[in-house]
Every structure is written in structure tokens, then in C-alpha cells.
């Protein structure tokens, strides 16, 4: 307990899956929280629950693909907490179609949320993060930002972009008080893929290829986020933390 005491953390996509697990863990570790999600009612409910459990929380509805909404969220963070130390970019969407079957609208949506949203987050929040002097950004990529699957063309493209955007930002801000790292989940039992897991279980190809022969838990990704967000990883920047049960090991 207390690994994030005194730090202000902003988390996107906080109402479900990895984002929710991260928000709950960071609250237990004494961070002051800004939780955001496009689900306005969901974020209000989450913020109220975390406050009732003793956390200092600001909940704000946010479409991560909107520059105007990002400006509002960062200004609200500054007004409420006076600064920002940690940015956790989790918000994401998926389309499972391959190259020929992906429609323009689906492509644009995935890129807007996963890729543009991550860039806008860093761009808009960076002045507050630089002022912290010892800030950390954690971007959520994927194992599908490292290897191909033969499907999900837009998702692969967006997560590969997040991987390299993370690295170039890490170099740019290495001497400016901001560390930037990426987490690469494998098959995780989140709402994004729960229907596939429920329907196909261990017959789902990625799970068969996962040496541990199971889906990961959102909490297992949240603990990876915690390490990279905390001062324990003070010499880690530009890194890829793969949390995939060994999926990319072979």
C-alpha cells in the first residue's frame, strides 16, 4: 500500500477491463485519481464508488479522440489537483476484420481512438507532466502491436503505432522529467474479447498458442501498469513490458 502516495494519476478507459482494474489498484496505492471514459454514467458511478472507499477522485467523461475534450480534462486536472504525475492510456476499441474486409468507417474509428487518442493524451497532458519533474506515461499497446495475426488490420496498425510513438516520446523526454513506456497485453479476459472467450474457450487460437493455456486477468495488467507508473521503475523508459502468458515467446 502507498506506492503512489502523493501522485496524481489520470487513467483513460477506466470503467471496464484493464482501465477499471488499474483505477482500483491505483486507488489502493494512495494515488489521487482522474478517471475518464466515454461512458459518462459509468465514470460517475466509478468515481462515486472510489470516493466512498476513501480515494480522492475526479471523474470526467472523455472521448479520447477529441482535442477539445482533452483540453478540458487536463485543465480540470490542473484546477483540482494542481498538477499531474502519471498518465495511463488504456481507452481502446477493436475491429477484427482483415485488410480487405475492413471498412473505412471502422478503420477511422480504431485509428482515432487507439492511435490519435494516445497522441492527443500525451500532447495535451505533457506540460503538466513535465512540471512534475518525475512523471510517467504508460501507453497500452498489445502483443498485436508486435506480431501479426492475419486479422484485425486496423487494430494491428494502431497498436504498432502506439508502440513506436511510445519509443520516440521516451527519447524526446528522457532528460525532461517524463518516462514513457508501453504495456503489451496478450489474451486478457476483458469485455472486449469476453464473448469470444465464452463462445470458444480454450479452442480460441490465441489461447492454444499461449504456453500458460489461459487468458490473463485485468488485474495482472494493472500490476504491470503500477510498476511502470511508480518510482520503482525510475530507470525504465522506452521499454515494452509484454504481459502475455508467453504467447510471443515462440
Torsion of CA 159, 32, 126, 158, to 10 degrees: 10
Give the H or E element holding residue 109.
Answer: helix 104-110
Instruction: State yes or no: is 173 an active-site residue.
Output: no
* Grid cell digits, residue 33: 485519481
Task: Report how far residue 197's alpha carbon sits from residue 170's, in angstroms, rounded to the nearest whole number.
Answer: 35
Residue among 32, 44, 25, 36 nearest 8 (CA): 32
* CB atoms near residue 52 (< 10 Å): 9
Concatenated DSSP letters of 78-96: HHHHS---EEEE-------
3-class SS of residue 211: coil
From the candidates 70, 81, 155, 173, give the one annotated as an active-site residue.
155
Taken in order 216, 218, 222, 225, the sign of the CA dihedral is: positive
* CB atoms near residue 143 (< 10 Å): 22
Give the H or E element holding residue 20.
Answer: helix 17-28
* Grid cell digits, residue 160: 504498432
In this structure, what are the phi and psi dihedrals at residue 20, rounded to the nearest 5 degrees? -65, -45
Residue among 92, 114, 121, 86 nearest 188 (CA): 92
Residues identified as active-site: 155
Amino acid at each position: 500500500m502507498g506506492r503512489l502516495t502523493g501522485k496524481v494519476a489520470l487513467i483513460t478507459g477506466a470503467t471496464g477491463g484493464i482501465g477499471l482494474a488499474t483505477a482500483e489498484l491505483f486507488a489502493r496505492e494512495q494515488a489521487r485519481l482522474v478517471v475518464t471514459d466515454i461512458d459518462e454514467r459509468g465514470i460517475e458511478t466509478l468515481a462515486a464508488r472510489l470516493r466512498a472507499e476513501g480515494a480522492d477522485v475526479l471523474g470526467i467523461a472523455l472521448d479520447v479522440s477529441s482535442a477539445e475534450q482533452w483540453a478540458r480534462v487536463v485543465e480540470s486536472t490542473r484546477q483540482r489537483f494542481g498538477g499531474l504525475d502519471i498518465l495511463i492510456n488504456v481507452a481502446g476499441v477493436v475491429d477484427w476484420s482483415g485488410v480487405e474486409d475492413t471498412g473505412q468507417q471502422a478503420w477511422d474509428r480504431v485509428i482515432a481512438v487507439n492511435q490519435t487518442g494516445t497522441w492527443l493524451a500525451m500532447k495535451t497532458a505533457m506540460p503538466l507532466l513535465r512540471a512534475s519533474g518525475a512523471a510517467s506515461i504508460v501507453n497500452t499497446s498489445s502483443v498485436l502491436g508486435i506480431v501479426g495475426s492475419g486479422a484485425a488490420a486496423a487494430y494491428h496498425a494502431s497498436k504498432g503505432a502506439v508502440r513506436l510513438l511510445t519509443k520516440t516520446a521516451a527519447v524526446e523526454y528522457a532528460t525532461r522529467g517524463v518516462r514513457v513506456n508501453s504495456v503489451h497485453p496478450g489474451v486478457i479476459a476483458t469485455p472486449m474479447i469476453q464473448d469470444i472467450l465464452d463462445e470458444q474457450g480454450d479452442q480460441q487460437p490465441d489461447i492454444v498458442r499461449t504456453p500458460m493455456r489461459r487468458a490473463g486477468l485485468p488485474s495482472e495488467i494493472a500490476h504491470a501498469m503500477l510498476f511502470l507508473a511508480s518510482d520503482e521503475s525510475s530507470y525504465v523508459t522506452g521499454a515494452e513490458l509484454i504481459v502475455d502468458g508467453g504467447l510471443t515467446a515462440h
